[in-house]
Amino acid sequence: MLVCVGPSPHSATLIRSTAHLAAGLNAPWVALHIEHSTITASQRQRATTHLELAGTLGAETRTVSGRFDADTILQFAVNEGVTQLVLGKPEAGRWSWWRGPSLVDELVSRSEGLDLVVVGSHGDTGSPRRNVPKPGLGGGRGYLLATLAVSATTGLSYPFVSEESNELMVYLAAVVFVSYYLGRGPAILASVLSVILFNFFFVPPILTFKVADPRYLLTFLVLFLVGWLVSSLTARARNTAKAALYREQQAVTLFSLNRDLTRAGDEGEVLKVLRDQTERMFGNPIVLQAENGGLARGKVRDEDWEAAQAAFQTGKPVGKGSDRTWLPLLGSRTCHGVVGLTPPEGHTRDDRDLLDAMLSQTSAALDRIELGRRAMERDVLEATEKLHKALLNSVSHDLRIPLVTINGTLSSLLDADLRLDPDTEKEMVQSALSEAERLTRLVSNLLQMSKMEAGSLKLNIVPCDPWDLISTTVAGLQSRLKRRTISLHGEEDQPLVPVDYVLIQQVLINLLENSLQHGQGAIRVGLESRPESLLFWVEDEGEPISPELEGRLFERFSRGRELADGGSGLGLSICKGLVEAHRGKIWLEGGRRFCFSLPLEDEDE
């Protein structure tokens, strides 16, 4: 829901109406102030006050600059996904900045997909508050009005009424009227006056206070009693209405507190919600948060600090030595913090109950957040443990196997009794060397992995020649090709691609090593230029990868069937991590061709 806020006094009413409507619909609402160039400083001040009011009533408040017209409002409504727009009913002269019927009309005619709610101005705002008479009217002015009412009744009815019992009804009506609108005191006065005037003007002998017929004394008593009774009843009804309104306000306050608390993601946000919500009832609350088992000292005076700490430690409200009352936020296990409040003048038991309810809701929200955090920490711990276990299982094997060959070869070279012919010796040394190389690759993959896990991967993006990338990588692998061949395919002219040279080279190395280790036959590497990206591919003539394996191909520690072929299950997952860090994609095509595409546009440009 969207409501526009301005400096006009009617804005406040409009905001309250919207708050009611929004609470009823359980819908979030936005108060928008459009700051246009013709606004004066005092107008801006009032508009800001209204915005603050909207904020305390649970609205999201926004200020935009622009012309105050349908375009701006509709534009904002579309951007924010507003479904209902609350408008004030325009009233000529009263509400100057909504002036011109064309605005509402224009909104009505152009608001496709928007529901419009038009709220009337002063005469009828739809707010229950206005149906309840103000008790303040019962003062001196109330008594005067009561006298006037009874006198007027007398004066108006005197020429027409001949039958005194009819006149009695007219007086009764006046008394009921007075008691309803002016309260109890004026009503009693009206009863008394009615009795006197009725006696004087209508009861024979007329125009004297004498009573000829003693039965009239009973009439006087009844008139007085009725007046008194009616005024008591209306007073009670009014009190009930007042209480209902108060309870409604309480419910709205608790409801909006609860809603905001549910939305709050951490302790700081929860405490901010509490501060905002209590601010309306109690001026300028101070909230202090528990921290590491103690209380975090905010900007509070020494005497406040003492009282706050006492409240925190005892778990009971403390007001001694401070001009505030300090209330603890008691959670299920710990005290989450304390709130310092100044009780307002004439605060009631109900206020106190409301405050207690608000504090216990806040504590519950803090409990929820704490429990959530613990659960999350436990999950993270579990996941880490799982990862470590998998890593250990996978890597311990891969680390040990090369060491067997290396150790064996070196010790056999030292062994004085062992006579090896030069060819065997050379062969052994060569296999030890290739095992050492394998170990080196594994260690560097592990380091790369942990770097990515820790999120400390920094990309050094520079425009690179893709063929240069490929050829440098292929040249580095030349010594390990043995009988396999690598051929390059694709147009010679390729655009420069903005990447981290070393990391993309790592991707290519891992893909090529994957082919060397697990694939067969000639390896082909290609480049294809796409409209906004560059596609790299690596394929060989090995057996196509089964669709089951394909699904988890790029997961950590997933490898083909044979454990013994020496893959650690890290290479492809690193490829995926590195390619995705470049905002690229990696996938398998047709069972044997690994493709990855990299965007040609740098992110910053």
Q: Which is nearer to another protein, 472 or 546 (CB)?
A: 472
Alpha-carbon span 2 to 28, nearest angstrom: 9
Q: Which is nearer to another protein, 166 or 472 (CB)?
A: 472
Helices 422-453 + 571-581 axis angle, to 10:
40
Taking the alpha carbons at both ends of the chain, their separation in whole angstroms is 37
Q: Which helix (H) or strand (E) holds 534?
A: strand 533-539
Minimum gap (Å) between residue 506 Cβ and another protein: 9
Could you identify the residue written with the tokens 């608790």? 254
Minimum gap (Å) between residue 451 Cβ and another protein: 8
Minimum gap (Å) between residue 504 Cβ and another protein: 10
CB-side neighbour CA atoms (13 Å) of 493: 0
Q: Which is nearer to another protein, 361 or 505 (CB)?
A: 505
Q: Which is nearer to another protein, 199 or 505 (CB)?
A: 505
Q: Which is nearer to another protein, 8 or 505 (CB)?
A: 505
Minimum gap (Å) between residue 315 Cβ and another protein: 54
Q: Which is nearer to another protein, 411 or 444 (CB)?
A: 444
For residue 552, give the DSSP letter.
T
Which parts of 54-114 are beta strand (E)?
A: 60-65, 84-88
Q: Which is nearer to another protein, 40 or 460 (CB)?
A: 460
Alpha-carbon span 2 to 11, nearest angstrom: 13
Could you identify the residue written with the tokens 């409501």? 3
Chain centroid offset of residue 95 CA: 34
Q: Dihedral of the CA atoms 489, 495, 496, 500 (nearest 10)?
A: -60
Q: Which is nearer to another protein, 332 or 472 (CB)?
A: 472
Contacts of 298 (CB under 8 A, 6+ apart): 286, 287, 288
Minimum gap (Å) between residue 427 Cβ and another protein: 17
How would you label 256-289 residue by residue, b for 16+ Cβ within 10 Å and e otherwise? bbbebbeebeebeebbebbebbbeebbeebbbbb
Minimum gap (Å) between residue 512 Cβ and another protein: 15
Residues that bind another protein (CB under 8 A): 436, 440, 444, 447, 451, 460, 462-465, 467-472, 474-475, 488, 492, 496, 501-502, 505
Minimum gap (Å) between residue 496 Cβ and another protein: 6
Minimum gap (Å) between residue 263 Cβ and another protein: 43
Beta bridge partners of 170: none
